[in-house]
Amino acid sequence: MLHYTSISDISNLSTLIKEAIALKRNPFQFETLGKHKTLVMLFFNASLRTRLSTAKAAEQLGMHTMILNVENTWNLEFEDGTVMNLNASEHIKEAAQVISQYADVIAIRAFPDLKDKAKDESEIIINGFKKYASVPVISMESSTAHPLQALADAITITELSEKQRPKVVLSWAPHPKALPHAVANSFVTMMQQLEVDFEITHPEGYELNPEITKSTRINNNQNEALKHADFVYVKNWSSYSDYGKILNEDPNWIMTKNKLGHAKFMHCLPVRRNVVVEDAVLDSEQSVAIEQANNRTYAAQVVLKKILENLNE
Ligand code: CP
pLDDT tens track for 23-75: 999 999 999 999 999 999 999 999 999 999 999 999 999 999 999 999 888 88
pLDDT score at 121: 98
Ligand 1 in reach of 268 Cβ (< 6 A): yes
pLDDT score at 200: 99
pLDDT score at 235: 98
pLDDT score at 73: 84
Atom of ligand 1 nearest to the CA of 50: 8
pLDDT band for position 122 (50/70/90)?
very high
244 phi-psi bin (left φ>0, alpha ψ -120 to 50, beta other): left
Q: Which of 41, 47, 288 to mutate to test the pocket of ligand 1 (most atoms within 8 A of CB)?
A: 47
pLDDT score at 249: 84
Q: What's the gap in Å between 80 CA and the centre of ligand 1?
A: 32
Ligand 1 in reach of 149 Cβ (< 6 A): yes
| Mean pLDDT, the chain, whole residue set | 97
Atom of ligand 1 nearest to the CA of 146: 3
pLDDT score at 304: 98
Percentage of residues of the chain with pLDDT beyond 70: 100
Separation of alpha carbons 61 and 304, rounded Å? 8
Q: What is the pLDDT of residues 274-313, one digit of tens each?
A: 999 999 999 999 999 999 999 999 999 999 999 999 999 8
**What is the pTM assigned to this prediction?**
0.98
Interhelix angle 147-160/13-25, nearest 10 degrees: 80
Listed by start position, the domains of the chain span 7-145+296-312, 149-292
Residue 107 identity: A
Q: What's the gap in Å between 234 CA and the centre of ligand 1?
A: 15
Ligand 1 in reach of 269 Cβ (< 6 A): yes
53 burial type by CB count under 10 A (0-12 exposed, 13-18 middle, 19+ buried): buried
Q: Which of 71, 140, 141 to mutate to test the pocket of ligand 1 (most atoms within 8 A of CB)?
A: 141
What angle (nearest 5°) sits at the alpha carbon of residue 194, between those of residues 193 and 199?
Answer: 90
Q: What's the gap in Å between 293 CA and the centre of ligand 1?
A: 8
Q: What is the pLDDT of residues 148-196, one digit of tens each?
A: 999 999 999 999 999 999 999 999 999 999 999 999 999 999 999 999 9
pLDDT score at 185: 98
Residue nearest ligand 1's atom 4 by CA? 49
Residue 204 identity: E
Residue nearest ligand 1's atom 3 by CA? 50
Atom of ligand 1 nearest to the CA of 269: 1
Task: Write out the CATH class of domain 149-292.
Answer: alpha beta
Nearest alpha carbon to residue 237 among 259, 253, 256: 253
Q: Which CATH number fits domain 7-145+296-312: 3.40.50.10490, 3.40.50.300, 1.10.3720.10, 3.40.50.1370?
A: 3.40.50.1370
pLDDT score at 160: 98
Residue nearest ligand 1's atom 7 by CA? 48
Check whether 125 has a pLDDT greater than 90.
Answer: yes
Query: Quick check: do 7-145+296-312 and 149-292 share a fold?
Result: yes
Ligand 1 in reach of 13 Cβ (< 6 A): no
Helix (H, G, I), strand (E, B) or coil at 234: strand
64 burial type by CB count under 10 A (0-12 exposed, 13-18 middle, 19+ buried): middle
Separation of alpha carbons 305 and 34, rounded Å? 8
Helix (H, G, I), strand (E, B) or coil at 177: coil
Instruction: Name 161's Cβ contacts closer than 8 Å, sequence gap at least 6.
Output: 230, 231
